[in-house]
Amino acid sequence: MSGPSIHVERLVFAYPDGRQALFGVDFSIERGERVALLGPNGAGKTTLVLHLNGILGSVAGGTGSGRIQVGGSDLHREHLPEVRRKVGLVFQDPDDQLFMPTVRDDVAFGPANLGLRGPELDERVHEALVQVGMQDHADVAPHHLSYGQRRRVAVATVLAMRPEVLVLDEPSSNLDPASRRELADILSGLDVTLLMITHDLPYALQLCERSLLMDAGRIVADGATRDLLGDADLMAAHRLELPYGFDPLSVPGPEK
Amino acid sequence: MHVPDGFFDAPTSIATGLIAAGAVGFSLQRANREIRETGPALAGLTAAFVFAVQMVNFPVGAGTSGHLLGGALAAALVGPWTAVLVMSTVLLVQGLLFADGGLTALGTNITLMGLVTVVVGYFITRALLKLLPKRVGSVVPAATVGALVSVPTAALAFTGLYAIGGAVDIPLAKLATAMVGWHILVGIGEAVITAAVLSAVVATRPDLVYAARHLQPDLVLVDADGNSSSVAPDRPIAARPAGRSLGVGIAATFVIAGVVSLFASAHPDGLEFVGAKLGFEGAAKSSAVADSPLANYGVSGIGNSQVSGALAGIIGVLVTIALGLLVAKLASLRSARARS
Amino acid sequence: MSGSAGDGLLVPVDSRVHRLPAQVKIVALFVFVLAVVATPSTAFWAFALYAGMLAGCVVLARLPALVVLKRLAVETPFVVFALLLPFVATGPRVEVLGLSLSESGVLGSWNVLAKGTLGVVAAIVLSASTAPRELLAGLERLKLPSTLIAILSFMVRYLSVVSDDLHRMRIARESRGYQGGRAGHLKAVAGGVGALFVRSFERGERVHLAMQSRGYNGRMPLLSETGAAQAQWLEGLALSLTAVVIAVTARVAGL
């Protein structure tokens, strides 16, 4: 396969309750890139990423238009199972993502839907849990885990499907500083294309070399994370603010 | 209202078990398409919601409280078939995980709280939607009335079951009046909560209300160049047309009322007749019951009331419907004024 | 409710009863309660035996008596109903402590109380000795329709989440100086419940999206892989079969 990992053209979408969320979105992400998706609340970021594996949008029978390509091929209803394996989505609230009675059942859900059974499935589950350091909690019920642990298991549920593109919705939200750093360590060690919605601008700078800035259902800026964060006028125009004392020009960016 | 084991005799428990199993099976079949579209998670979350809300008590009067049953509400929100499944799931979890409601009485409980409330609530809702202004907001007064009527109707169905399979002979007119009278009060609480929930949903997510899906306006879509176009909303499942629902709803209510009155009319003069004949009069007049904290309502209150005879149940239902229609009228007037 | 709503009444200890497969326990419970319900209410000796058997189960399952007694409170409304029966029921009357009571009412009251209590205690033994996930797996083994299992499993998973939401909303209400008046209370509760539904429903939508994202195709994976051994069935059903024998004996003896 060739072409960019994700390519989006003139994407428009309205929710069934009449609220329009996307007003023509264009962007492209190359294989192996790590991209942060920034923007104020209500900009349409979550709506956008739900299009990337065909959950929202015309391919899912919704109201909208535009073009989405994953791995160089157009999104079609027939390809949905394949696309959903390739594009792994980690939801913001881990309670939305962890819906099975135990951690093990939950991590196994995706691979089982891909047809894995028996020892092969067990191995895949174990591998994913090891990647996030949660292998000792396989038989625990999700509501008995801490929030940070739940977030890590949520990442594991997607990793168990061996995705090519990992899409995360605010991965650092509600985490304590240690959990936040542990998750960054896990994410920076993964060999996948990464798209990450975040309000945590230092996190974006730490993990992603490139950023997209979204506002009112459109992409309004696209460039190196450091340049975007350093553009005070752009930031102010779209309700983005750096934490007190944080200077994007004085800290190291992603290791790569 | 969770019936424990041994409250009804074994044949009644088995018969209602069969009714419940049939209803759940049929609902599974009918809800299959909805559940495939929207996912079992939604039904499960609705069930968790109903369960949680059943734990919230509201004051009814005389220092006691009632809680939401939720059948009519669930029917308006997720449709009658899914609602039957949701209510059955709630009762199954209460029985198995929380030892609430007997396992052999599960069929009885599903029939009373899962089936009667959903069916009555939904039919009345759909019937009133035909009469009210054609917009999504009309579902609030319609389902409110549905909720109001559904609770005393379930109480009446309980009395009917008691007539068939109750362990002890007690004057049925009395039981019916007591149950219905009491549950009209509970029904008012049910109606208020149902109205509040539906108002909140209509205000924030009108597309979620199953019973009013056919009333949704078209969407306006603005594309990248600023051109707007009008499109039909994404409606995964079209709500079924109400058809003869008004007639059916009222008929259903009266059949239930009638079943009870059939048994009840065996005692034409109510308490006095039964009392005189069986020596109950002394007990009713002795203050043993009248002095109890329960004397102001419930079973013993009926002993002193003038309401007697076979019509008690039907009168109760009629009063409820009349009250409900009044509430619906007022609510629609108010919301119409709020709009203008 | 104490603890997490998602755990039901589970008392997490290890015992013979805890280790029995859930499907065995569900069937055993059902047969036992059916036998109890079918026993004529005048066969007092039978009820004494049932009570003894259940007490044995409680001990065997290492359940604290206090937990069982507390949980019996769910019966309260029907206890009230049962206690009223002697006053309102028809039939020949007896004098007890100066009150005129109906004979059939007294018997009926005993009938409801005895059978109801035995049923509740038996159900407590099941729910306190079986984790919710095991119960679901047991129901699955008993061939409950898969859609119903799926709904049940989501409900159990999100019980604690929804209950916590409700709890937080109450705290938020009370911390803003709200005090429960009569009518005001109902209104406040109702408003909160409306918001709770929208939250729950939207979570349901998001969960469905998360499922689709991981390739959900309309079929949930099975929870249980292995069935119960014959020995386990025998062990579990021993109690209920004894109950059936008692019930049959009571019926025959009563004729």
Shortest Cα–Cα distance, A100 to chain C (Å): 7
Asked, for residue B291, whether it belongs to a domain, the answer is no
Q: Contact C221/A114 with Cβ under 8 angstroms?
A: no
All structural domains of chain A, each given as residue ranges with its CATH number in brackets, are 6-92+163-237 (3.40.50.300)
Could you count the other beta carbons within 10 Å of the beta carbon of residue A181? 14
Asked, for residue B282, whether it belongs to a domain, the answer is no
Q: Contact C192/C173 with Cβ under 8 angstroms?
A: yes
pLDDT at C177: 67
Structure tokens at C95: 């004098």
- Higher-pLDDT residue of A54 and B285 is A54
User: Structural domain tally of chain B?
Assistant: 1
Rounded to 10 deg, the angle between the B172-204 and B71-78 helix axes is: 40
Instruction: Suggest the residue from A11, A23, A48 to mutate for an interface test with chain B (most B CBs closer than 10 A).
Output: A23
Comparing alpha-carbon positions, the chain C residue that sits nearest to B303 is C88
How many CA atoms does the CB half-sphere of C22 hold within 13 Å? 24
What gap in Å lies between CA B154 and CA B1, rounded to an integer? 10
Asked, for residue B278, whether it belongs to a domain, the answer is no
Asked, for residue B322, whether it belongs to a domain, the answer is yes
What gap in Å lies between CA A5 and CA A192, rounded to an integer? 10
Of the ranges A153-162, B220-229, B298-307, C231-240, which is most confident? Answer: A153-162
Chains B–C, number of C-beta pairs less than 8 Å apart: 298
Asked, for residue B45, whether it belongs to a domain, the answer is yes
pLDDT digits (tens, 9 = 90+) for A205-230: 999 999 999 999 999 999 999 999 99
pLDDT at C183: 57
The radius of gyration computed from the CA coordinates of chain C, to the nearest angstrom, equals 23
- Tell me if chain B has a CB within 8 Å of the CB of A61: yes
Residues of B near A (Cβ–Cβ under 8 Å) read 41, 205-207, 217, 219-225, 231, 233-236
The radius of gyration computed from the CA coordinates of chain B, to the nearest angstrom, equals 21
Contact A63 B207 (CB under 8 A): no
Shortest Cα–Cα distance, B308 to chain C (Å): 15
Torsion sign across C-alpha atoms B299, B303, B307, B313: positive
- Tell me if chain C has a CB within 8 Å of the CB of A217: no
In degrees, rounded to 5, the angle at the alpha carbon of residue B47 between the alpha carbons of residues B246 and B217 is: 50
Contact B236 A61 (CB under 8 A): yes
pLDDT digits (tens, 9 = 90+) for B146-205: 999 999 999 999 888 888 877 666 777 878 888 888 888 889 888 988 998 888 888 887
The radius of gyration computed from the CA coordinates of chain A, to the nearest angstrom, equals 18
Structure tokens at C121: 């205690």
Write the CB contacts of C243 (distance below 8 Å, at least 6 apart in sequence). C31, C32, C35, C36, C50, C53
Domain that holds residue B37: 10-217+241-268+309-339
ipTM over 0.85: yes
Candidate from C1, C150, C193 with C-beta closest to B53: C193
pLDDT at B340 over 60: no
Side chain identity at residue A191, one-letter code: D
* Contact residues, chain A, for C216 at CB < 8 Å: 109, 113
Candidate from B41, B219, B236 with C-beta closest to A18: B219
CA distances from C242 to C7, C16, C54, C245, C248 (A): 31, 18, 12, 5, 10
pLDDT at C169: 80
DSSP chain A: --S-SEEEEEEEEE-TTS-EEEEEEEEEE-TT-EEEEE--TTSSHHHHHHHHTTSSSGGGT-EEEEEEEETTEE--GGGHHHHHHHEEEE-SSHHHH--SSSHHHHHHHHHHHTT--HHHHHHHHHHHHHHTT-GGGTTS-GGGS-HHHHHHHHHHHHHTT--SEEEEESTTTT--HHHHHHHHHHHHT--SEEEEE-S-HHHHHHH-SEEEEEETTEEEEEEEHHHHHH-HHHHHHTT--PPTT--TTTS-----
pLDDT at C110 over 80: yes
Candidate from C7, C203, C214 with C-beta closest to A113: C214
CATH number of residue B332's parent domain = 1.10.1760.20
Shortest Cα–Cα distance, C217 to chain B (Å): 9
Q: Contact A97/A91 with Cβ under 8 angstroms?
A: yes
Q: Bridge-partner residues for A211, per DSSP? A: A36, A223
Q: Report, as an integer, the average pLDDT of C120-147.
A: 89
What gap in Å lies between CA A172 and CA A183, rounded to an integer? 8
Least Cα distance to B118 among B126, B128, B130, B106 occurs for B126
Shortest Cα–Cα distance, A248 to chain C (Å): 34
Contact A18 B234 (CB under 8 A): no
pLDDT digits (tens, 9 = 90+) for B99-117: 787 888 899 999 999 999 9
Residue A9 burial (10 A CB sphere; 0-12, 13-18, 19+): middle
Candidate from A24, A61, A63 with C-beta closest to B231: A63
Rounded to 10 deg, the angle between the B245-264 and B139-165 helix axes is: 30
What gap in Å lies between CA C104 and CA C110, rounded to an integer? 10
pLDDT digits (tens, 9 = 90+) for A148-197: 999 999 999 999 999 999 999 999 998 999 999 999 999 998 989 999 99
Report strand pairing: A87-90 vs A73-74.
Answer: unpaired
What gap in Å lies between CA B46 and CA A106, rounded to an integer? 21
Shortest Cα–Cα distance, B275 to chain C (Å): 8
Comparing alpha-carbon positions, the chain A residue that sits nearest to B225 is A24
Structure tokens at B73: 């509400």
CB burial readout A13-37, b (16+ within 10 A) else e: bbbbebebbbbbbebebebebbbbb
What gap in Å lies between CA C133 and CA C137, rounded to an integer? 6
Rounded to 10 deg, the angle between the C22-38 and C230-254 helix axes is: 0
Instruction: Say what the pTM is.
Output: 0.78
In degrees, rounded to 5, the angle at the alpha carbon of residue C74 between the alpha carbons of residues C199 and C106 is: 150
Touching C: which chains, 3+ CB pairs < 8 A?
A: A, B
Q: Contact C163/C46 with Cβ under 8 angstroms?
A: no
CB burial readout B1-28, b (16+ within 10 A) else e: bbbbbbbbbeebbbbbbeebeebbeebb
Q: Which residues of chain A have pLDDT under 70?
A: 1-2, 60-61, 255-256
At B228, is the secondary structure helix, strand, or coil? strand
Mean pLDDT estimate for chain B:
70
- Tell me if chain A has a CB within 8 Å of the CB of C217: yes
How many CA atoms does the CB half-sphere of A175 hold within 13 Å? 24
pLDDT at C32 over 50: yes
Contact C214 A161 (CB under 8 A): yes
pLDDT digits (tens, 9 = 90+) for B254-272: 444 444 444 433 333 332 3
